Chains A and B, each alone.
Chain A
Amino acid sequence: MRSAAKYEAAQSPVVLVPTVDRVLSAVLRHNATLLLVLVFCAVAVVGVFVIRDLQTANAEAQNIYAVSVQGLREIGELQFDAQETRRATLYALTTNDSNLQLEYADQSRDADRRVTDGIAQYMHQAKLPAEVLLAGRLTHDWANYLSIRDEVLASILEGSTKEAVSLDLSGGVPSFERVRQDLNEVKRSYDDQASQRLATVVGTSRRSAVRLIGILGFTFLLSSTAVWAIQRSRMLSAIQLAKLQMEFVASVSHELRTPLAVLSSAADNIADGLVEGKADLKKYGTVLQNQSRQMSGLVDQILLFASTEDRKRRYVLQPLEVTQIVDALEASTHELTHGAGFAVERHIEPGLPQVMGDLSALTQCLQNLVGNAVKYGSPGRWIGLRAFRGHAEHGAGEEVRISVSDKGIGMDRSEIPHIFEPFYRSPRVNAMQIHGTGLGLSLATRIAETLGGRLSVVSELSVGSTFTLHLPVAERERLEMSGVGSQPNSSKQT
């Protein structure tokens, strides 16, 4: 991911790595993290469903109690009170005592008031058309029964027992039977509603259980896969690191062995007296000098890489002219490029703002890029140094870019994400017997990042590569460009 962020993907039609490749690369390299995120998302989604199911089941259960169970209890009380109405009326028939008959009449009327209230409440609660119809019929039948009951009571109180019994048998019994049937129908309606709701609750609970089992199984499976992937990733990383270190040791050994062999051979020749004459001695001295410098440079590079490992190397940042940087770069690499027969083409956009940086570090960073251009720039043998203005990433104003281009072997897209990794050496380059430690680009990147900039690359196989150093504009220049006047901060340490 780190190296993927270090190159630009869509700067030109010659895009090295498209977005899809980047994503795929990230997926492959961070599969364990993605799996864990996937597990979390899946658990969260299913958890939301399960919670919703539980809430539904709870609401249904409450609804069952509030409507059906409560309704059944109320209808039971209604049935009892309706029976009480009739029972008290019939009790009045069993006595001739008017005072007692009145008490029974009172009991009957009390019970009928409760029934009437209950029916009114049921009618008020009735929502479905069938319920409304039933409530209307019940109200009508109950009113009919009460009118007959009143007549029966009156006859009883008048002392006309025979008339009361006759009236009750002819009207009271059938009308009360209708009321009883209506109440039974209401009860059945509540029963049906309760059954339906209970079925809903059972269905919801079953669905929740299935979902819970599913999510547990899914979580277990994905967790196991994630753990396996993490372990495998660690193992592969360890193997890769060991391999890289082995390659580094081999590479460094090889890089050191060549000058050492030359040094040893030259020393042997001098010791054996094979070198005679001042001219030969001078020639051997030059060889020894060059090889020593090469070894010293290699050791310096390794030490510098080790020192930038924590990216906390302190540089003295100061505003620098871009021409100053390019001049220093050309001076330091002139011998290298000239010796290798490379043509260097330089182009600096006029009016570039100053950049913040450390001249020595910037030169070192760019030297690595030029060194690579020389190393991999054949057969073009051309190096382009270009400095120009550009827009910084994330809309953070302007920046200055210094690019080093070559017309060499270029790189394959699949290599791009790895070239900034320390010790990385392309198999293709190894096959071509091009020597190196795999530290140059990694070191250059670290320097760029430490200076507040970054490094990007655009490359095409067999066409060439362009490495660009992005540097922040010096604070004073920014202020001037934004039209805000302020005192420049001449130097700064990071």
Chain B
Amino acid sequence: MGRLASLLILVGLAALLFAAPEHEAASFGRPSGPEQTLPTQPLAIVVNRSNSVDDLSSTELRRIFLGERSHWPNGRRITLVMREPGEPERKTILRDVCQMNEGELKNHFLHGLFTGEILVSPKILATSVGVRKFVFNVPGAIGYLRLSDVDNTVKIVRVDEFLPEDKGYKLHVEVRPGN
């Protein structure tokens, strides 16, 4: 009976995976062609102001965003906040942090949740304001925001010792007209 349930869940997850839009899978990775000329803006990694963590390495950041690290050093549970699929910020995180495309990420989380390696799936929020408010409300939350969307309700963490304003900062999001 337990095996049958597991099989059904796997089938369902596979169906969801295949139902993802084709263009999303195609847009993963660094932009090519004319898109490379678009201006960019730093993408800040933000945490709750009560969080004592100030600096994260690329590796730690990847583990957090892939749900492989579940707790902060103070013991507080990590709550991951993501934008909806297709948003430029999410694309940047997938490309530069998770180094996966949308499908691979979904598979990763489906697998992790199913096996119990990942405890909580990321919270999906529609807007950057929502991300900011969520991080403000949840002490263990971590998310990402364009630098222009950051205010003093959240705290920016360094990535590989770089702040978003620094020259060597790696995370940038494309600024498309209307974004």
Chain A interfacial positions (CB closer than 8 Å to B): 98-99, 102, 105-106, 150, 153-154, 157-159
Contact with A along B107-148 (1 / 0, CB 8 A): 000000000000010011111001001100111110000000
Whether, in the assembled complex, B77 has its beta carbon less than 8 Å from a beta carbon of chain A, the answer is yes
Q: Are A105 and B133 in contact (CB under 8 A)?
A: yes
Choice from A99, A102, A159 contacting B137 with Cβ under 8 Å: A102
Whether, in the assembled complex, B79 has its beta carbon less than 8 Å from a beta carbon of chain A, the answer is yes
9 A–B contacts from the bound complex (CB under 8 Å): A98-B130, A99-B125, A99-B130, A102-B134, A106-B133, A153-B137, A158-B77, A159-B120, A159-B123
Q: Are B133 and A158 in contact (CB under 8 A)?
A: no
Given contacts A99-B130, A158-B120, A159-B120, 14 further A-B contacts (CB under 8 A): A98-B123, A98-B124, A99-B127, A102-B134, A106-B133, A154-B137, A154-B140, A157-B79, A157-B123, A157-B134, A157-B138, A157-B141, A158-B79, A159-B123
9 cross-chain pairs, A with B, having the tightest CB-CB distances, nearest first:
A98-B123, A154-B138, A158-B79, A157-B138, A102-B133, A105-B137, A99-B126, A157-B137, A102-B130
Nearest residue in B to A160 (C-beta to C-beta)?
B77
Q: Are A154 and B139 in contact (CB under 8 A)?
A: yes
Docked CA distance A106–B134 (Å): 10
Q: Are A158 and B140 in contact (CB under 8 A)?
A: yes
- Residues in chain A near residue B139, CB distance under 8 A: 154
- Residues in chain A near residue B140, CB distance under 8 A: 154, 158
- Residues in chain B near residue A159, CB distance under 8 A: 79, 120, 123
- Residues in chain B near residue A154, CB distance under 8 A: 137-140
Docked CA distance A99–B120 (Å): 17
Docked CA distance A99–B84 (Å): 11
Contacts A153-B137, A154-B137, A157-B137 hold; do A102 and B79 have CB atoms under 8 A apart? no
Docked CA distance A210–B134 (Å): 68
Contacts A98-B123, A98-B125, A99-B125 hold; do A158 and B130 have CB atoms under 8 A apart? no
- Residues in chain A near residue B77, CB distance under 8 A: 158
How far, in Å, is B37 (CB) from chain A's closest CB? 34
How far, in Å, is A26 (CB) from chain B's closest CB? 90
- Residues in chain B near residue A158, CB distance under 8 A: 77, 79, 120, 138, 140-141
Q: Are A98 and B137 in contact (CB under 8 A)?
A: no
How far, in Å, is B140 (CB) from chain A's closest CB? 7
Nearest residue in A to B126 (C-beta to C-beta)?
A99
- Residues in chain A near residue B125, CB distance under 8 A: 98-99, 102
- Residues in chain A near residue B141, CB distance under 8 A: 157-158
Docked CA distance A154–B135 (Å): 9
- Residues in chain A near residue B138, CB distance under 8 A: 154, 157-158
Nearest residue in A to B124 (C-beta to C-beta)?
A98
Nearest residue in B to A108 (C-beta to C-beta)?
B137
How far, in Å, is A63 (CB) from chain B's closest CB? 43
How far, in Å, is A75 (CB) from chain B's closest CB? 29
- Residues in chain B near residue A157, CB distance under 8 A: 79, 123, 134, 137-138, 141
Docked CA distance A150–B49 (Å): 14
- Residues in chain A near residue B130, CB distance under 8 A: 98-99, 102
Docked CA distance A105–B138 (Å): 11
Nearest residue in B to A150 (C-beta to C-beta)?
B137
Docked CA distance A398–B27 (Å): 127
- Residues in chain B near residue A105, CB distance under 8 A: 133, 137
- Residues in chain A near residue B123, CB distance under 8 A: 98, 157, 159
- Residues in chain A near residue B120, CB distance under 8 A: 158-159
Nearest residue in A to B133 (C-beta to C-beta)?
A102
Which of B127, B133, B137 neighbours the largest number of chain A CB atoms within 10 Å of its CB?
B137
Docked CA distance A102–B129 (Å): 10
- Residues in chain A near residue B133, CB distance under 8 A: 102, 105-106
Docked CA distance A154–B120 (Å): 14
How far, in Å, is B142 (CB) from chain A's closest CB? 12
Docked CA distance A300–B133 (Å): 121
Nearest residue in B to A96 (C-beta to C-beta)?
B123
Contact with A along B62-103 (1 / 0, CB 8 A): 000000000000000101000000000000000000000000
Docked CA distance A105–B134 (Å): 9
- Residues in chain A near residue B134, CB distance under 8 A: 98, 102, 157
Docked CA distance A153–B48 (Å): 14
How far, in Å, is A281 (CB) from chain B's closest CB? 146
Docked CA distance A98–B77 (Å): 17
